[in-house]
Amino acid sequence: MLKKSALGWPKIAGLGIALVVAGQFSGWNYGLAAGGWLNMLIATLLMALLCGGLALCVAELSTALPSAGGVFAYAQTAFGPFVGYLVGTACALALTIGTGAAATFVSAYTESMFGIGGWPVKFAMFAVIIGFHIRGVGEAMGLTLIAGVIAVVALLTFGVAMAPHVELTTLLSLPASTGQAISLGGIFACVPFAIWLFITVEQTGSAAEEAANPGRSMPRGILAAVGTLLVTALVVLVCAPGAGGVELVGAAGDPLYAAMSSNNVYGPDSWLAKVIGSGAVFGLIATFFSLIYAASRQLYAMARDGQFPQWLGKTGKRATPINALVLIGVIGLPMSAVDPATVMLAVVLLLNVCYLFIFGAYLRIRRTQPDLARPFRLAGGTLVAWLGLALTLVVIAACFQLDVYMLVALAVTLALCILNFFVRARLGDRTVALETADNV
């Protein structure tokens, strides 16, 4: 059993911020190279609407149906076991491979600042952070909250330090690969990277089963996380390319540090740039903590329901899903060898397929279970969900910029997972039939 009432709303907000904040230090900037700053700005505002609306829908669902399975539990309630399984599997896979991209970005920052990176840094991250999670959820989320606060302070400090250096002409300069300043094609190209500024905040719903008074703490924590992330996203989107240059920032693995340490800002020997870079490392580590937390709870909840092997549903002496945590390390560490832009697109594609079903589940549960107790109810929730569905379809279409090898790998993995579902369902039916025959 998981530990109950371990998380208050500040830790839930910290989880939501930490899940996303790495995307504000690295990854989003590839959108600048894809479409330029103006297209990226428009795409970012659209993705803020999508992810903010989704998080609010999940806030309502998490108080009505608190479960460690989060989005998996909502989809299963609305559409049955098979759809719930698909959503849960896609989310768990996205979060698990996302740890690989997070590890790569941490390595890029530590390499630039301290000359230490590569596999030693990646291996140490997986070993130490999974160890903290095995020790206990309260300890892990406490460290996540501290790292998330440091990351937010670093982002705001970055904004204050860089604001005097921001120039409009620098922001509006176009990368050599783009054609016009604003275009539908440019916005479309930026969308999968713009959503990286907000993506996975909805996974905060997985904390509902371990939350203290989820009816109050879940919506407060999620709303605090979304508001904070919107502010910090706009800070990095304006200040990094506006001071460091669209071309430089768009190609960097460590965009904030690259912008601050550029010759036309503070220079490579700046102590302030190193302070902000250190804050970036804390932010990336916070996201790493949170991705492992959300993925392990997804695997645990599905194993507990008999949809994954039972050993993934086992908890250790400190009531943490130890086997699920180890499996995430076994998959995530090798994924850190893959190009992070490719991993990002794979994560975005998988999660947005899930988003279709989450919005659909929200609409269906509202319609079919109007009397379900909802300690938090989203005003205008139906309209928000329909708008979110439309934007999600745009994101899914934009993700087919993904290279064919990764698409094939995802298709094969999901096919094997679907086979697992039907094999387990068949075995379950046989077990029921045998028990019935014995009773007769």
Q: What is the DSSP string of 356-381?
A: HHHHHHHHHHHHH-TTS--SS--TTH
357, two tokens: 């079903």
CA 380 to chain centre: 25
User: What are the DSSP calls for 136-178, one per residue?
Assistant: -HHHHHHHHHHHHHHHHHHHHHHHHHHGGG--HHHHHPPPTT-
Q: For the packed helices 81-114 and 9-25, what is the interaxial angle rounded to 10 degrees?
A: 60
Tens-digit pLDDT profile for residues 91-112: 889 989 989 888 888 888 888 8
3-state secondary structure of 7: strand
For the cut 70, the answer to whether the pLDDT of residue 436 exceeds it is: no
Nearest one of 321, 326, 309, 115 to 209, comparing CA atoms: 321
Cα(219)–Cα(206) distance, integer angstroms:
13
Tens digit of each residue's pLDDT (9 = 90 or more) over 254-284? 899 889 988 888 888 888 888 888 888 887 8
pLDDT for 373 beyond 50? yes
Q: 3-state SS of the chain: helix, strand, coil percent to 5?
A: 80, 0, 20
**Percent of all residues in the chain with a pLDDT value above 90, rounded to a whole number:** 21
Q: Report residue 140 as tokens.
A: 């892990």
Residue 80 — left, alpha, or beta (φ > 0 → left; ψ -120 to 50 → alpha)? left
Q: CB burial class (10 A; 0-12, 13-18, 19+) of residue 85?
A: buried
Q: Would you state the structure tokens that stand for residue 92, as one six-digit string?
A: 């768990």
Give the CA distances from residue 46 to residues 144, 188, 193, 279, 335, in Å, rounded to whole numbers and listed in that order: 28, 11, 12, 27, 29
| Cβ atoms 38, 188 nearer than 8 A | no
Residue 315 main-chain phi, psi, to 5 deg: -115, 155
Indicate yes or no: pTM above 0.85: no
- Quote the pLDDT of residue 383: 94
Reported confidence tier of residue 6, pLDDT bands at 50, 70, 90: low
Tell me which of 57-66, 92-101, 108-117, 209-218 is least confident: 209-218
- Amino acid identity of residue 154, one-letter, is A
pLDDT at 391: 95
Contact in structure between 51 and 198 (CB atoms under 8 Å): yes
> Which residues, in sequence order, are bridge partners of residue 7?
211
Which residues neighbour 330 within 8 Å (Cβ) at sequence distance 6 or greater?
A: none
pLDDT band at 434 (very low <50, low <70, confident <90, very high): very low
Q: What proportion of the chain, given as a percentage, has pLDDT over 70?
A: 88
**Mean pLDDT score, 189-211:** 79
Tokens 């996303």 correspond to what residue?
20
Tokens 């690259």 correspond to what residue?
Answer: 258
Q: Which residues contact 323 (CB under 8 A, 6 or more apart)?
A: 311, 312, 314
Q: pLDDT tens-digit profile of 21-48?
A: 777 888 899 888 888 889 999 999 999 8
131-158 per-position pLDDT tens digit: 877 876 555 566 667 777 888 888 889 9
Residue 236: its pLDDT value, please? 92
Contact indicator for 202, 21 with CB cutoff of 8 Å = no
Hey, what are 276's tokens? 């902000």
Mean residue pLDDT of the chain comes to 83
The separation between the first and the last C-alpha atoms of the chain, rounded to the nearest angstrom, is: 34
Find out whether 187 and 60 touch, Cβ atoms under 8 Å: no
Dmax over Cα atoms in the chain, in whole Å?
Answer: 83
9-402: CATH architecture: Up-down Bundle (1.20)
CA distance 324 to 339: 25
